A and B are shown apart, each in its own frame.
Chain A
Amino acid sequence: MVHCYKLNGYNIVLDVFSGSVHVVDEVAFDAISMYESTPKDEIKKTLLERYSHLEDVSEAEIDELFEDIEELKEDGKLFAPDVYENRAFDLKNRSTVIKALCLHVAHTCNLNCEYCFASQGKYSDNNEFSRDHDGHSPLMSLEVGKRALDFLVENSGTRRNLEVDFFGGEPLMNWDVVKEIVKYGRELEIVHNKKFRFTLTTNGVLIDDEVIDFANREMHNVVLSLDGRREIHDRSRKTINGKGSYDLIVPKFQKFVEKRGDRGYYMRGTFTHANPDFTKDVFHMADLGFTELSMEPVVCKPDDPYALTQEDLPIIFEQYEILAKEMLKREKEGRGFTFYHYMIDLEGGPCIYKRISGCGSGTEYMAVTPWGELFPCHQFVSDKKYSLGNIWDGVTNKDIQNEFKLCNAYAREECRDCWAKLYCSGGCAANSYHASGKVTGVYDYGCQLFKKRMECAIWLKIAQGEL
Chain B
Amino acid sequence: MKRIKTVQTRDLKKSLKSGGCGECQTSCQSACKTSCGVANQQCEKCVSGK
- Tell me the A residues contacting B by CB distance below 8 Å: 13, 17-25, 27-28, 61, 64-65, 68-69, 71-72, 76-77, 80, 83-84, 91, 94-95, 97, 99-100, 102, 117, 159-161, 163, 165, 167, 197, 199, 201, 221, 223, 266, 268, 270, 294, 296-297, 299, 340-355, 357-361, 364-365, 377-379, 422-425, 427-431, 446, 449-450, 453-454, 457, 461-462, 465
Contact = CB atoms under 8 A, between A and B. Distances in A.
Contact of A294 (B26, B32, B37): B32
Contacts of A64: 2
Contacts of B6: 20-22, 72, 77
Given A19-B11, A64-B2, A365-B29, A353 B20 contact: yes
B23 A160 contact: yes
A352 B32 contact: no
Given A23-B7, A161-B44, A357-B38, 7 more contacts: A159-B23, A296-B35, A341-B37, A346-B10, A352-B15, A428-B35, A430-B34
Interface string B1-30: 111111111111101101110111111111
A68 B3 contact: yes
A342 B38 contact: no
A294 B42 contact: no
Nearest to B46: A348
B23 A344 contact: no
9 contacts: A18-B13, A20-B6, A100-B25, A159-B22, A223-B30, A268-B31, A348-B10, A349-B42, A462-B7
Q: DSSP class of A's interface residues: helix, strand, loop or mixed?
A: mixed
B9 A20 contact: yes
A23 B5 contact: yes
Nearest to B2: A64
A341 B40 contact: yes
A450 B42 contact: no
Contacts, number: 222
Contact of B35 (A20, A84, A297, A422): A297
Nearest to A98: B26
B3 A349 contact: no
Nearest to B24: A354
A351 B13 contact: no
A304 B27 CA distance: 27
A65 B2 CA distance: 8
Contacts of B33: 167, 201, 223, 268, 296, 378-379
A450 B34 CA distance: 12
A84 B16 CA distance: 9
B4 to A, nearest CB: 5
Given A28-B3, A347-B9, A348-B47, A457 B39 contact: yes
A424 B38 contact: yes
B37 A161 contact: no
A350 B19 CA distance: 8
A355 B12 contact: yes
Nearest to B12: A19
A351 B12 CA distance: 6
Nearest to A68: B1
Contact of A22 (B5, B10, B40): B5
Contacts of B43: 345, 348-351, 354
B28 A359 contact: yes
B19 A428 contact: no
Contacts of A365: 26, 28-29
A246 B47 CA distance: 36
A352 B14 CA distance: 9
A339 to B, nearest CB: 9
